[in-house]
Amino acid sequence: MTSQSDGSSAGTVAETWDRVRATVDLGALRRNAALARRLAGEASLCAVVKSDAYGHGIRSVVPALMPLVDSFAVATLEEGEAVRAIAREHAIVVFSGFNHPAQLPRFNSLRLQPVIHQPGQLSWLRDHGGAAAGCWLKVDTGMNRLGFSMEQAGSAFRALAGCCDEKPGLMSHFAVADTPDHPMNAEQLSRFLEVSRCFDTTCSMANSAALASLVDSRLGMVRPGLMLYGITPFADPSRGPVELSPVMRFESRIAAVKDLSPGSTVGYGATWHTETVRHMAIVGAGYGDGYPRAIGNRGHAIVSGKQAPVIGRVSMDTLALDVSECGPVAVGDPVEFWGTHLNAATVAAWDGTIPYELLCRVSSRVPRVAVN
């Protein structure tokens, strides 16, 4: 369902698409990766491309990043296999590790590095030949999700070292790095450094937010995700690197225009009505494409460089905009939902969610068109 282009004839692409698409700016992606590289300093750079590169499409994102990063990280074995088909030589870290010993041969043949986070995985490794391409031990420093406790870390690391051809790496994860001033960040980092002093190995803790704000957390390897795609990783959007360039532009076109008389209603449930004459545009995108249904009557899109409120409920395949203040509009005019003129973090806030979810929710029926 997903289609991609190398962008070699961007003008032709712009003239032929007719409903909805996600344009992926690989130049912006590379600029963000270069910024991450500068922030990383001496640490190696691991690009997080899980969930189909946060909805941007690994088939275009991974090749664009390969010259700029040292390794990639994914969530599952299947994602690791997809990345390995493109990145033949890069190290690939699988955050979830494996959930059955039968998966180990695939991990080893694909040279994937599992993250070991619970005792059962240690037993499977010991009994089924170990990890051929290296592995990581995850320590829980306060996130209380996955990982060995501080007390278990030493014995777990020694056991894991006996199951791997290479010395295991050590990693943990911040719970509130998106709020840099939160005291829990310093507490978690202190716990992790306490554990890491016991082992001479590569250590990794910094995600996008920590990479940009917590210098001491950069250690041996950093793992940026969201910032690569041009979105601030901070809860307060005003914080963070101002140089980030949005990578995805989610857009559609006007499918129909209509004048509404006073007292008219729009859409399912008749939740929006006119008090004066209004000019409405129907746009060919809806929640079936990944545009949030909850934004009806709350957010806006960009038409002719101006804000056009979303009116009525968002349908599966269409939504309505009040374009009365946008000047003359016509069928076929472009509509931007987020990207160049409207930040995805702003749109996510209207939906009561986070930009991670917004990007990953873009449907597979939406073509990803890679440009630049």
List residues with catalytic annotation. 50, 268
Q: How far apart are CA 111 and CA 133, in angstroms?
A: 5
- Structure tokens given for 316: 């599966």
Q: How far apart are CA 206 and CA 36, in angstroms?
A: 11
Instruction: Name, in order, each residue with C-beta under 8 angstroms of 195's C-beta and a sequence gap of 6 or more.
Output: 139, 141, 150, 153, 154, 170
Contact 363, 288 (CB under 8 A): yes
Contact 254, 331 (CB under 8 A): yes
- Helical H runs in the chain? 10-16, 26-40, 50-54, 58-65, 77-84, 104-109, 119-127, 150-161, 183-196, 208-213, 344-350, 355-360
Cross-strand partners of 139 = 148
Q: How far apart are CA 219 and CA 82, in angstroms?
A: 28
Cross-strand partners of 222 = 45
Q: How far apart are CA 74 and CA 364, in angstroms?
A: 19
Contact 112, 80 (CB under 8 A): yes
Buried b (16+ CB within 10 A) or exposed e, 276-285: eebbbbbbbb
- CB-count exposure of residue 288 (10 Å: 0-12, 13-18, 19+): middle
Q: How far apart are CA 170 and CA 19, in angstroms?
A: 46
- Structure tokens given for 235: 């809860």
- Structure tokens given for 290: 């990944």
